[in-house]
Amino acid sequence: MAKKVIIPAVKGTREFYPETMALRNFLYGKMRKASQAFGYQEWDAPFLETIDLYAAKSGEELVKEQAFVFEDRGGARVTLRPELTPSLARMIAKKQRQLTYPLRWWSFGPFWRYERPQKGRSREFFQWNIDMLGVSSPEADAELIAVAATFLRSVGLSPEQARIFVNNRRLMDSQFDALGIPAESRLDVSNLVDRRSKMKPDVWTAYALEQGLSQSQLDGLLALLDNKDLWKDWEELTRLFAALDALGVREYVEFDPNIMRGLLYYTGTVFEAFDLSGGVRRAILGGGRYDDLLADVGGDPLSGVGFAMGDVVIGIVLQERGLVPAFEPSPAPVLVTVFDESLWQESYALSAELRDAGLNVTCYPEPAKIGKQFKFANKMGMRVAIVLGADEVAAGQVAVKDMRSGEQESVPRGEAAETISRILASA
């Protein structure tokens, strides 16, 4: 036998067999439902963009290291989109005066980043993006967080299992000011904060001092990062939490001064959701307020708030927690068997009749041993199998078998659809 040579899939891509596709569609359905519950409109942008779009505002890492860039046949530098926000900013800017605000848009589609694949990270992934533009208020921030919480609740994650951690850039800036940390080293301090959970305390302390912090600044920073009540003196956050209370999602949300987020364009509230079991150490979703983005890409000033959620991490979390619904192999719960060469047309005609009656029906595509056909129905998880043999045809009947109970009855052909529906309805 010749050796089978299978050309491998591109590194970092995932192949969606029906079982995996069902999970992706499940997630899509929940995202869509949460988005629409708050009145967001679905939209999308091109998958291919010029690299210039990202060079304008995205981080250097994203553009130079992580973007898939290639030349098209005309010599233009084209990239597979690594994120959606620049496309959003452009599309808003092009129609800025024609759109109705506050504008609420959501999207779900593929993105590509040239990363080293590992748990929770692939090079080709799907991402839910949702944004509100045209309003700059803590209540708008709260709405986006509420959408995220609504999603988490809808997939069966409780507040004990998943939590959204919130912080505020302006609050932290004022605190850093109070500690005498200059504006130009703020980025380094943010990275320092981001890194704290990943380093041992003494190593982190040494690292912090190495970065130029004084001992008193370090002490102040540590006190700051442990202060879970800091939000109570900051109006943006007291209003945010009041709104979350009113929206009924307060239990999913927690203030945490350690949440910084690397993206430069965030200006106010920032948030990230995590699975509390720690099985996956990555954020399930993350977002925040960006007040300068439109102006940065050449539009008129327009503030926005939004977040993104990748399909990979949430998929792993739901699988580890057993929250993924059971896979139903066949979309058609009914199999019409084909008895033999002389009767296949009867079966095909019956399957058409049943489809006309509104049922999803698979007809076996060739005559085969009846046992083989039943086995197929069983493996495909079908509820009902129909047998149309010589006896049934002669009597104008069809045999309807309930695959779960094993019971079978013969009914007049005209009543078949009704009998099947009754079986399907019986849980």
Partner RNA sequence: GUGGCUGUAGCUCAAUCGGCAGAGCACUUGACUGUGGAUCAAGAUGUUGCGGGUUCAAUCCCCGUCAGCCACCCCA
Give the binding site for RNA (CB under 7 A).
1, 3, 8, 11-12, 59, 61-62, 66, 113, 115-122, 125, 127, 191, 194-195, 198, 261-263, 272, 281-286, 308-310, 312-313, 370-372, 374-375, 377-379, 385, 387, 389-392, 399, 401, 403-406, 408
Residue 422 backbone phi and psi in degrees, to 5: -65, -45
Asked if residue 288 lies in contact with residue 104, where contact means CB atoms within 8 angstroms, the answer is no
Local structure of residue 64 (DSSP, 8 states): I
The nearest distance, CB 407 to RNA, in angstroms, is 8
The nearest distance, CB 8 to RNA, in angstroms, is 6
The nearest distance, CB 216 to RNA, in angstroms, is 25
Helices and strands, number each (H, E), in the chain = 16, 16
CB closer to RNA, 242 vs 393: 393
The nearest distance, CB 239 to RNA, in angstroms, is 25
Buried b (16+ CB within 10 A) or exposed e, 91-106: bbbeebeeeeeebbbb
Radius of gyration, alpha carbons of the chain: 28
CB closer to RNA, 96 vs 205: 205
CB closer to RNA, 127 vs 168: 127
**Which pair of structure tokens corresponds to residue 160?**
């004990």
Local structure of residue 40 (DSSP, 8 states): P
CB closer to RNA, 99 vs 374: 374
The nearest distance, CB 394 to RNA, in angstroms, is 8
CB closer to RNA, 12 vs 159: 12
Strand, helix or coil at 422? helix
Distance (Å, whole) CA 267 – CA 292: 8
CB closer to RNA, 75 vs 278: 278
Q: How far is CA 32 from CA 55, 109, 154, 199, 336, in A?
A: 31, 12, 11, 38, 35
The nearest distance, CB 93 to RNA, in angstroms, is 21
Distance (Å, whole) CA 211 – CA 223: 18
The nearest distance, CB 374 to RNA, in angstroms, is 3
CB closer to RNA, 97 vs 198: 198
Asked if residue 14 lies in contact with residue 134, where contact means CB atoms within 8 angstroms, the answer is no
* Short-list 167, 342, 318, 178, CA closest to 256: 167
